Amino acid sequence: MLDDEYDPQQIANYGARAQPALVARMTPQLRMTQAGLGVAILAVASCVGAIYTFPSFGGGADGSGFAGSTDGSTWAVGALIASVVLLAICSFQHVAWQRAMAEWKGERDSNLDPWRKASWVAHVLSYVVVLFALWTCIAGSLAAGTNATAAAMLAFALLFMVVAQVLAGVQYLRICGPPGTIPAHLRRLNVEIQRRR
């Protein structure tokens, strides 16, 4: 078949670096990482608020209630550490998606393989961070007392961390398929089991 029989728009731009179809398909993933990054910042702010509103029961070495960690505020500090690590993971995922979008738009020529591998590792690490956050937020809420402002701040922080993980933490760099959430893993496992039967 000769080339003149094709519509000009059917002939691909061979050698073109831009991949507009891929950019269009993956733009929602970039937006999700942006939203997740914003929610991760809210989680950090909630943890900081929990630390400053944590009730002092025993008092620290300097009388401030923080130095000796005898009042249970270390749980809030642990939640803050988890939120900061999750913020770093969400930031990395967002940067990875921005870099991939620049590559797919033809604006930059870079090797995405190391970014894909690191992004996948970061998504697995986000599960560990959220489990640690779950533990520290619940323990911190119990240590503060369920009616304390710090307990409410830790509850919001945990909610924000879970949402940030779903929106950005598990959005590992890929060109197709669902993210690395547990329901997506279970669906893939179910498809594999059904295929083997």
Amino acid symbol at 91: S
Residue 131 has pLDDT above 90, yes or no: yes
Q: Which of 134, 123, 191, 194 is nearest to 158 (CA)?
A: 134
List, for residues 147-174, the tens digit of each pLDDT value.
889 999 999 999 999 999 999 999 888 8
pLDDT at 39 over 50: yes
**How distant, in Å, are the alpha carbons of 22, 39, 101, 160, 174 from that of 25?**
5, 23, 11, 27, 11
Please state the separation of Cα 108 from the chain's center in Å: 25
Please enumerate, as own/partner, the contacts of 30-35 that have beta carbons within 8 Å and a separation of 24 or more: 30/94, 30/97, 30/98, 30/101, 32/167, 32/168, 32/171, 33/90, 33/93, 33/94, 33/97, 33/167, 33/168, 33/171, 34/94, 34/168, 35/167, 35/168
CA 177 to mean position of chain CA atoms: 17
Tell me 175's DSSP state.
Answer: S
Amino acid identity for residue 7 in this structure: D
**pLDDT value of position 63:** 45
What tens digit of pLDDT does each residue of 180-197 get?
566 666 677 778 888 888
pLDDT digits (tens, 9 = 90+) for 48-60: 999 998 887 655 4
What DSSP state is assigned to residue 173?
-
Q: What is the pLDDT of residues 1-20, one digit of tens each?
A: 444 454 455 445 444 566 77
- Over the chain, what is the mean pLDDT? 81
Task: Give DSSP secondary structure letters for 91-122.
Answer: HHHHHHHHHHHHHHTTS-----HHHHHHHHHH
Which comes out higher in pLDDT, residue 23 or 47? 47
Q: Is the pTM of this model over 0.95?
A: no
Using 50, 70 and 90 to split pLDDT, how confident is the model at 130? very high
pLDDT at 24 exceeding the cut of 70: yes
Q: What pLDDT is stored for residue 71 in this prediction?
A: 60
- Amino acid at residue number 89: I
